[in-house]
Chains A and B, each alone.
Chain A
């Protein structure tokens, strides 16, 4: 397939792996922030191609995984309000909240529909004018512009039964929080590909200049990732830290200005609660006051049961890169994709699911 096969070229991949082995002389700890990268790394067995002194950690870049129990409990409660239609991306369905999951809420009678795009949620609102249609807004900067444009569309068409339960999150504040925690010592970050398409590379500059961490934005094919690792090793070996782009076919320095404008038009930044990292200042998005009428959290004030965390679940530490999935006592035993205890095992882009699916030998 054109535009993909080039980035899966086995010869190019091997050449890059050989180059990394040749130039890398010292231990280095790298983190891929994004869940999409975690899956690509596991699926392609990339760690097997790297020298053993290069350590790869998986970061908190799976929007499903970092959604806090409290926020899942809220959407489950909303789904049981008579008349309400919940629309969500499929990944959220199986994530356990404190007491149940959306999948169980659906079996209990909730009208919960999987959509492939927020446009389908808008359509459900047009088709059911007498019922509140709530879109579960979970995602990063990749998803946020589409939510913004749907809100503007609803306003334009005067669709008054459309709501967003906004749990959108921002990547750079979480990266900073991770570095500030000081639990892990990173030499380099593989910066997210699609998020960077929207926000550009400027937000990462502080990690290079203030924290001395090398940053490279990567695509999602094996050659993309190996190239990013090679560029990170170049920086680390040369004793420099800056922000480079390996994913030039997808990312420009300034990002997608139009998408950024849309986000700025509709959202304010707000504190957000991340699973495993707690409340991080200014790390989430909320609808601006003038769009209050679309805010599901304001429209439906519900009493929620107390939040309950799952005993033994170490998703928090896994999301912070402090431990690997294999270090969790529940992994593969009490916690499997069939019976997930924590969200990292549920989401297709969760680190635990990736480790489980593609084999612990790759870890």
Chain B
């Protein structure tokens, strides 16, 4: 097999089979996948959560992760935020002609490691190769299935006045790590992506409380988007305190430089929860025992005032509205 992906690798020929059997499948093999039938056959019963997502990140390797880890984490986290235990995933690759096969190997290794960490199995997949320029190196599409235990009802619509808002750690790390790699910015930041599977963190939270009302991971659009979604879907107000929100110094510095607000920057390994006040401290201490929740903090609370709006108390004692981000986030002019 050559060094680069050729169009022939997607043609259904022996080359395709070689690619699948030598590069793609070995790292993620499991009994369901090993049958190599047209569809995966699963034994599942109970309430299911089902999700899909696509990953088109540029660059495909970034500080703290790569597109493979991102694809697994994104899917695992989407399931986890419904309170589901992630079980199975699909993985479809759209590869641009010319991609280094070694890069593909690295990405599959990373898929394997991340899936093992999360305890999910990749049970079905697909590979397509498109002409140079028709895709950008590698696109990944996934779907995921998870099981929800009886009694769990977590939704962005369930936040209630009096709930505490918990954030699992520092914000903006994924977005700034990726942005620093973009052409033209030439930033060398001491920041790596926080890309991580959060299902074990969520399990730990669910094991100590039945009163986790809302749960979401602040990916694109950042913390501000998620809080605004909670406020609108639950028809409540949310008040947060600037000084309680953890932000890595490197993220803060880069945001200052570019005129960006960490509240709007993407995360891939953080969650936000609305939790009944009575359960707040036990949820918090369960979170802090997990490696992805060590910096967890209460950043605010849900209120009956200013319904549908998120308000932030500033460090100097005033307050301001935190709105949804608008369109593409562009660095300022001066």
Contacts and interface: CB of A to CB of B under 8 A. Distances in A.
Instruction: Decide if A and B are genuine partners.
Output: yes
B316 A348 contact: no
B320 A91 contact: no
A167 B121 CA distance: 58
Interface string B175-190: 0000000001100000
A351 to B, nearest CB: 15
B315 A120 contact: no
B314 interface: yes
Contact of B333 (A92, A356, A362): A92
B184 A120 contact: yes
Interface in B290-334: 311, 314-321, 323, 326-328, 330-334
B29 to A, nearest CB: 43
B185 A116 contact: yes
Contacts of A140: 334
B330 A114 contact: yes
Contacts of A36: 334
A143 interface: yes
A139 B328 CA distance: 21
B149 interface: no
B220 interface: no
Contacts of A85: none
A288 B107 CA distance: 54
Interface of B is mostly: loop
Contacts of A222: 314-316
A48 B318 contact: yes
Interface in A1-28: 1, 4, 8, 10, 13-14, 17
Interface string A317-360: 00000000000000000001110000000011100000011111
B253 interface: yes
Contact of B330 (A1, A45, A348, A360): A348
B327 A44 contact: no
Interface string A37-52: 0000011111011000
B26 interface: no
A91 B326 contact: no
Contacts of B259: 348
Contact of A116 (B184, B252, B314, B316): B184
A282 to B, nearest CB: 21
Contact of B256 (A4, A64, A120): A4
Contacts of A49: 316-318
B334 A8 contact: no
B308 to A, nearest CB: 13
A93 interface: yes
Nearest to B186: A116
A281 interface: no
A209 B140 CA distance: 66
A337 B326 contact: yes
Interface in A150-175: none
Counting chain A CB atoms within 10 Å of each CB, which of B314, B319, B333 scores highest?
B333
Contacts of A358: 320-321, 323
B117 interface: no
Contacts of A200: none
Nearest to B257: A116
A92 B333 CA distance: 8
A63 B333 CA distance: 8
Contacts of B53: none
A138 B326 CA distance: 22
A45 B320 contact: yes
A8 B256 CA distance: 13
B249 interface: yes
A19 B319 CA distance: 20
Interface of A: 1, 4, 8, 10, 13-14, 17, 36, 42-46, 48-49, 63-64, 89-94, 114-116, 120, 138-140, 142-143, 194, 222, 336-338, 347-349, 356-362
Interface of B: 184-185, 249, 252-253, 256, 259, 311, 314-321, 323, 326-328, 330-334
